[in-house]
A and B are shown apart, each in its own frame.
Chain A
């Protein structure tokens, strides 16, 4: 079983839709959770950074972490064509083992 599982998609939605992206994980030691957006031929861009369980909102983006279920989500409201990209979840134990473990990414296309 992989440490982090992420549905690769592809996911195609109309402009203005609410998008839900998810990851599950098996390592209960993960405490830091991140979402990155990666456009084609670019490096990953940090979108959301959260510690432990709970919700965090930033503009049209909301990140949710449920440590009891080992499940994290990213919601995108009022999706735009410019949101079309690959979305990667990443996690870390922190402390002395702070390397990031990534999901494989979900390819999202928002159609005008």
Chain B
């Protein structure tokens, strides 16, 4: 059974640009959550999508947004990139919304220069 797939694995962007990251959950899983991991703050919750609706949101600015498609695949977008957005962005897949048993992908390493 395939795991959570995130693309691309690595990205380098310039300040002020925007970026879109993609996540395909485990087959049959309908909930997708996004996390940011940095050395200073650790793993922090960004938001969760279920049935194409955002169900929960963390304390991040509005520059961070996402969406989910009917096949449960999700995308995360960051606009007007800042140096501090450099991080590992992780997607987690769960069977359903509210299910805390989450399985993570390999992440997308974003570097903002």
Contact = CB atoms under 8 A, between A and B. Distances in A.
A34 B43 CA distance: 14
B75 interface: no
A32 B102 CA distance: 11
A79 B21 CA distance: 36
B90 A46 contact: no
What bracket does the count of chain A residues touching chain B fall in? 20 to 34
Given A88-B43, A103-B42, A105-B42, A98 B99 contact: yes
A94 B33 contact: no
Interface in A46-60: 46, 49
Interface stretch (B11-19, B77-85, B103-111): B103-111
Interface of B: 4, 6, 33, 35, 42-45, 48, 56, 58, 90, 92, 97-107, 109
